[in-house]
Amino acid sequence: MRALIVVDMQVDFCPGGALAVAGGDEIVPAINDLMPDHDVVVLTQDWHPQDHSSFAANRPDAQPFELVQMDYGPQVLWPAHCVIGTPGAGFHPALATDVADLVIRKGFRPNIDSYSAFFENDHVTPTGLAGYLRDRAVDELSFVGLAQDFCVAWSAMDAARLGFRATVIEDATRAIDLDGSLAQARDDMRAAGVRLA
């Protein structure tokens, strides 16, 4: 069984949003077209409380895109984005959300970020997605959405480590590309056994 994992196709990650990814909205039609080719469609939704520790505004003297050390490892500080219940946390209005079997939210614990759809950034706390996919007999995953070098890459690498066949459909992703993060993510994905298509 094959699943399409649509990562964080939300208003705040599209042009005009709080953490806009260049061209983020351009990939919506391609993603909608891929949905009927898959047995299972999952949407992920970045979903942060206003006091989330990944928001630069919640720390004295911190600037967005700065790197800090958390007890679980390095963490980029972001502009406030995808705040629970705000319009920016909603899906892009043209995304075919009706087709989705599952919407999985992540990043709702104030003290830990969650890029991956499978684990929080400590790489230990599970979201429950792996169990859902195994229960549905899914073995093959295609990843699309935003952002290729953060949430898409971390999700695809975790999927490969968990034993799923993982492919990133690059035409249906866009990257933040912070200090070479896209090239690094592509190298890391290949090393983790993720196929880039």
Q: Which residues are catalytic?
A: 8, 106, 151
Instruction: Tell me the three-class secondary structure of 108-137, residue by residue.
Output: CCCCCCCCCCCECCCCCCECCHHHHHHHCC
* Window 104-123: residues binding ligand VGL (CB under 6 A): 115
Instruction: Return d(Cα 168, Cα 174) in angstroms, integer.
Output: 11
- What is the nearest approach in angstroms of ligand VGL to the Cβ of residue 34? 18
Q: Segment near ligand VGL (CB under 6 A), from 25-33, 92-100, 142-150, 161-169?
A: 142-150
Tell me how far, at minimum, the Cβ of 71 lies from ligand VGL, in Å: 19
Query: Which residue of 31, 151, 160, 185 would you call a contact of ligand VGL, by CB under 6 A?
Result: 151
150 touches ligand VGL (CB under 6 A): yes
In angstroms, rounded to a whole number, what is the distance separating the alpha carbons of residues 75 and 130?
24
Q: Would you count residue 120 as binding Zn ion (CB under 5 A)?
A: no
- The CA-to-CA distance between both ends of the chain, in Å, stands at 19
Q: Which is nearer to Zn ion, 87 or 163 (CB)?
A: 87
Distance CA 58, CA 147 (A): 23
Does 3 bind ligand VGL (CB under 6 A)? Our answer is no
Our CB check for ligand VGL shows the closer of 74 and 139 to be: 74
How far apart, in Å, are the Cα atoms of 95 and each of 17, 30, 34, 40? 16, 10, 12, 16
Asked whether position 46 contacts Zn ion by CB under 5 A, the answer is: yes
Residue 188 has a CB neighbour count (10 Å cut-off) of 16
For position 78 contacting ligand VGL by CB under 6 A, the verdict is yes
42 lies in the site for ligand VGL, by CB under 6 A: no
169 touches ligand VGL (CB under 6 A)? no
For residue 106, give the 3-state DSSP assignment.
strand
Q: Which residues bind ligand VGL (CB under 6 A)?
A: 8, 13, 46, 78, 115, 146-147, 150-151
